[in-house]
Amino acid sequence: MKQTFILVATVLFAFGCKDKSSSTTAAATDSTQAMTSKPETPEKPDYPYTLEQPYQDWQPGDQMHAVNAMKSLKAFENGDIATCVAGFGDTVELRFDNYRAKVSNDSLKQIFTTSRNRLSSMKINMGDWESVISKDKKTEYVTMWYKEITTDKKGKTDSLSIVDDAKIANGKIVQLDEKIQHYPAKKI
C-alpha cells in the first residue's frame, strides 16, 4: 500500500512538473515572439478640424508655476493685491468676459484693487489645476478650475464656475484668460 501511494505521488509530481515546464516554455516563446515582432504603426487620426498653428503636444509643466499662479489667486481672494500682482509680469494681457486689454503691472494693480474693493467677501473652492508646457518648451500655461463665491458690498452673493488659463513666461503670468459660468446654470 505504501509503495502504491509513493508510486502515485511520484507520477502526479512528475506530471505536475511537466505541465508547469511546458506552460513556462510556451509563455517564454510567446513573450519572445511579442518582443521580436514589429509593433503596429498607429494610423494618423483624421481630425475634423485644423489648427491655425501646429499642435503643441502638451507635456506636464513645472508645478511651481501652478503654485505661483494659485498664490496670486489666493492673495486676490484675501484682498492682498500687492502680493497678487507680484506673480504677474511687467505687461499682462487680460481676457475676461466682455473685456480685453494689455496693461502694465501698475495698471493691473489698479484694476484688481477696484474689482476686489467691490466685494465684502470672496471664497475660492479649487477644483483642480494643471501646469503644461509645449513639447518645444516655448509655451507654458497653468489652468485652474474653481468655484468662486462672492458677496458684494450690498450683500448680494453670487457663485461662478471659473476656468483660468494663465500663460507663463519667465516664471510670471503674462496672460490671464478667464472663462466663467454663473450658478445655477439657466435651464435651456
pLDDT digits (tens, 9 = 90+) for 86-130: 999 999 999 999 999 999 999 999 999 999 999 999 999 999 999
| 126-144 pLDDT tens trace | 999 999 999 999 999 999 9
Dist CA 146 CA 126 (whole Å):
4
- Least confident span in 14-23, 53-62, 78-87, 162-171: 14-23
Domain 59-182: top CATH class: alpha beta
Dist CA 103 CA 111 (whole Å):
10
Using the predicted structure, report yes or no on whether residue 37 has a pLDDT greater than 60: no
H-assigned helices in the chain:
2-36, 63-77, 81-86, 105-117
Q: Which three cell numbers stand for residue 79?
A: 484682498
- Least confident span in 25-39, 60-74, 105-119: 25-39
Query: What pLDDT does residue 20 have?
Result: 47
Contact 159, 147 (CB under 8 A): yes
Quick one: pLDDT band at residue 10, thresholds 50, 70, 90?
very low
Using the predicted structure, report yes or no on whether residue 1 has a pLDDT greater than 70: no
126 CB neighbour count, 10 Å cutoff: 12
Query: What pLDDT does residue 8 have?
Result: 44
89-110 residues labelled b (16+ CB within 10 A) or e (exposed): beebebeeeeeeeeeeeeebbe
Query: What pLDDT does residue 16 have?
Result: 53
**Pairing between strand 99-104 and 119-133?**
unpaired
How high does pLDDT run on average in the chain? 85
Q: How far is CA 41 from CA 38, 59, 132, in A?
A: 9, 22, 27
The helix/strand/coil state of 176 is strand
Work out the angle at residue 111's Cα, subtended by the Cα atoms of residues 108 and 115, and round it to the nearest 5 degrees.
140
For the residues 25-38, what does the mean pLDDT come to? 52
Q: Which three cell numbers stand for residue 23?
A: 506552460
Quick one: pLDDT band at residue 56, thresholds 50, 70, 90?
confident
Q: Which three cell numbers stand for residue 13?
A: 509530481
145 CB neighbour count, 10 Å cutoff: 14
Using the predicted structure, report yes or no on whether residue 149 has a pLDDT greater than 70: yes
Percent of the chain at pLDDT > 90 equals 66
Instruction: Find the length of the chain.
Output: 188
